[in-house]
A and B are shown apart, each in its own frame.
Chain A
Amino acid sequence: MNAKLTIAMPKGRIFEEALELLRKAGYTLPPEFDDSRKLILDVEAEDMRFILAKPMDVATYVEHGVADVGIAGKDVLLEEERDVYELLDLQISACYLAVAGLPGTAMNDVAPKVATKYPNVAAAYFREQGEQVEIIKLNGSIELAPLIGLADRIVDIVSTGRTLVENGLVEYERIKDVTSRLIVNPVSYRIKDERINELVTRLSTVVSLEVK
């Protein structure tokens, strides 16, 4: 079936890289794409519709089927555990999830606290380490938490490590490497299989060239 393909794109950091990747894969996307403030962008020439979402929400749109495919960080997929196909590692926006805190500190014995944007990832990680911690959910500027005594540790994504250094924090453990993934709604994967197969083939060619 050749119906229009709806793609959920993450706004911000990953957007530029994802756009570049799609262009390299031969999709003609108009130049005004890059700095538009619209949330829905139709590209008639490719019979595609792009929706611009918060990175954390991309998998939600795809799971509910309002977007057929999406580009989402592995961090989001680990946190949200959405029922979507993770088809391709796009190898863009590389970073990693890590545990950080003030240097030379130990966790509180009685009630170790961890602040994070990723409560599920953090809870699962510490449980696997055999530690029971209390999680405090924050929505941004996670580095603040240990500085002002809200938590002993934070779990957050680290790309260059500069934010940590500038705030006097050190990395304690590396949890998982993160890159962006191509995700697909299970129904779209079957019903729009031809269009999605083509997208996967074109993107994987580009990705494997980049890696070499």
Chain B
Amino acid sequence: MSRLFMFEKPLGMRDTLPELYEKKHRVRTLMEDAIKQWGYQFIDTPTLEYYETVGTASAILDSELFKLLDKDGHTLVLRPDMTSPIARVAASRLLENDLPLRLAYAGNVYRAQQREGGRPAEFEQIGVEYINDDTVSSDGEVIALLVSSLKKAGLNQFQVSVGHIGFAQELFKQILGTNGRANALRRFLYEKNFVGYREQVNSYSLSSIDKKRLLQLLELRGGEEIIGKALDIVEDGYGKESLIQLKELWDVIKDYGLEDYVKFDFTIVSHMSYYSGILFEAYAGNVGFPIGNGGRYGLIEKFGKKASATGFAVRLDKLLEAMGSQEISNTVECILFSQERRKEAFQLAETMKAEGKQTVLQDINGVKNLDAFTKKFANTTFLIGGA
């Protein structure tokens, strides 16, 4: 490796300079306030976790984990998401009375470093986990909270696409039976390869009706009417169960009055059997990657308690990107003083701070270029020379 320049940071790491810090802080505060209003309690967990516990339980692919070794040779991971650490805490400490539990977090998560730009190895997520409540009401609450917290944060144009892991699974099982053929199709769906999916379906020896049912799955995107179309292609069983859940979810969302933000999409699947029911992604038009995602999962069981949960996570960096450039007005004021009027300056500063103004006290002898310095403030007061 070539010698490092002193300005270099490890691959995938970013600094947060004052202006960005302010923006992040503001959006984070707005989101947090919205989440707290719904009665969720914020918690923090360690940055490092064991690979064997949190690392393997996480929804993040093994190859994307940021791994390290501790001094005893245990493999550690920088937490890849907040969901699995919270599942660990909930199962071991908090889920004692078997009651519904509403937790929230805002914290940095980590991914394996990538050569290509635009893929930071560290980024902040803010989200909620609603644990130990199996009702569709809880799925609806999480989606409604996602929508309303994004709105509170100031994002206007966005969409949440909702799918159900059970629908495609059950459809495949009904038509294909054996798991091998179903897995092949699921893999194509996960890889977003519809060309491959269609070729695969056409290569199976099936009745033309069954082929049509499998191909129609790709078209199942849209509003409430999609549930009716989906009903036409599944038989009874769990597939229908998932549609009943989605129909109920739609009613819940409608009762929240948020149906304008939500659409259905039956082609959303996850890469492994991580999600167990309703799942969703949030998109804003001007950002090429989802700004958030979530769904129902059975992760808590891996940590030893029988409970399922639902939640969402929003990526703060993508959310800021979606909100575009917003002017942060500079409200910091400055008092420039010389020794003679120092005490007066200090008193004035106390008064201004008490009024809630951000105030900088600056000895004039410490400034080489006065013009450049005063430009950094909304207002400058000079307390210089004999009174």
Contact, CB under 8 Å: A87 / B194:
yes
- For the complex formed, measure the closest distance between the CB of A112 and the CB atoms of chain B, giving whole angstroms: 26
Known: A3-B285, A187-B289, A190-B263. A83 touches B195 (CB 8 A): no
B283 at the interface (CB under 8 A from A): yes
Contact indicator A85/B192 (Cβ below 8 Å)? yes
B290 touching A187, Cβ below 8 Å: yes
Whole-angstrom CA separation of A191 from B284 in the bound complex:
8
Tell me the residues in window 89-118 of chain A with beta carbons closer than 8 Å to chain B beta carbons. 89
Q: Which of A64, A88, A181 has the most CB of B within 10 A?
A: A64
A187 touches B287 (CB 8 A): yes
Docked-complex contact A88 and B288, CB < 8 angstroms: no
Bound CA span A162–B283, Å: 47
- Chain B residue nearest in CB terms to A183: B192
Minimum CB–CB distance for A149 against chain B, Å: 30
- Pair A87/B159 contact, Cβ less than 8 Å: no
- Inter-chain contact B194/A65, CB cutoff 8 Å: no
Q: Are A191 and B192 in contact (CB under 8 A)?
A: no
B-contact 0/1 string along A164-196, CB 8 Å cutoff: 000000000000000001000111101111000
In contact, A187 and B283 (Cβ under 8 angstroms): yes
Indicate if B45 sits at the interface (CB-CB under 8 A): no
**B161 CB–A CB distance under 8 Å:** yes
- Interface residue count for A (Cβ, 8 Å)? 22
CB of B265 within 8 Å of the partner chain: yes
With a cutoff of 8 Å between Cβ atoms, the chain B residues found around residue A190 in the complex are 159, 161, 221, 263, 265, 281, 283
Binary per-residue interface labels of chain A (25-39) against chain B in the complex, 1 for a CB within 8 Å, 0 otherwise:
000000000000000
Q: Which residues of A contact B281 (CB under 8 A)?
A: 190
Q: Is B156 located at the chain interface by the 8 A CB criterion?
A: no
Q: Are A187 and B288 neighbours in the complex by a CB distance under 8 Å?
A: yes
Quick check: B285 and A191 within 8 Å, CB to CB? yes
Give the secondary structure class of A's interface: mixed
Bound complex: CA A102 to CA B135 (Å) = 66
Smallest CB gap from A66: residue in B: B288
Interface majority SS on B: helix, strand, loop or mixed? mixed
Contact B195 A181 (CB under 8 A): yes
- Interface residues in B263-302 by Cβ distance below 8 A to A read 263, 265, 281, 283-285, 287-290
Q: Which of B192, B284, B288 contacts A86 (CB 8 A)?
A: B192
Which residues of chain B come closer than 8 Å to A66, judged between CB atoms?
A: 288
| CA of A64 to CA of B116, assembled, Å | 11
> How far is B285's CA from A7's CA once the two chains are assembled, in angstroms?
16
Q: Find A65's partner among B192, B193, B288 (CB 8 Å cutoff).
A: B288
Q: Which residue of B lies closest to A68 (CB)?
A: B288
- Bound CA–CA A66/B194 (angstroms): 22
Known: A190-B161, A190-B263, A191-B159. A86 touches B285 (CB 8 A): no
Which chain A residues lie closer than 8 Å to B221 at the CB level? 190, 193
What are the residues of chain A within 8 A of B161 when measuring CB–CB?
190
Check if A209 is an interface residue, CB within 8 A of chain B: no
* Interface membership of chain A positions 52-84, coded 1 if the CB is closer than 8 angstroms to chain B and 0 otherwise: 000000000001111000000000000000011
Q: CA–CA, A12 to B385, complex, Å?
A: 73
Contact partner of A185 (CB less than 8 A), chosen from B159, B196, B284, B288, is B288
How long is the Cα–Cα vector from A89 to B196 in the complex, in angstroms? 9
Would you call B283 and A83 a contact (CB within 8 A)? Answer: no
Chain A proximity of B45: nearest CB distance (Å): 28
- Distance to closest chain A CB from B265 (angstroms): 7
For the A-B complex with A63-B288, A83-B192, A187-B289 known, give 6 more contacts whose Cβ atoms are closer than 8 Å.
Answer: A65-B287, A84-B192, A86-B194, A87-B195, A186-B289, A192-B285
A-B contact pairs, 22 of them (CB 8 A): A3-B285, A64-B118, A64-B288, A65-B287, A65-B288, A65-B289, A66-B288, A84-B192, A86-B196, A89-B195, A186-B192, A186-B289, A187-B284, A187-B285, A187-B288, A187-B290, A190-B159, A190-B161, A190-B283, A191-B285, A192-B285, A193-B221
Nearest first, the 9 closest Cβ-Cβ pairs linking A and B are A65-B288, A85-B192, A187-B283, A191-B285, A86-B193, A89-B195, A64-B288, A86-B195, A190-B283
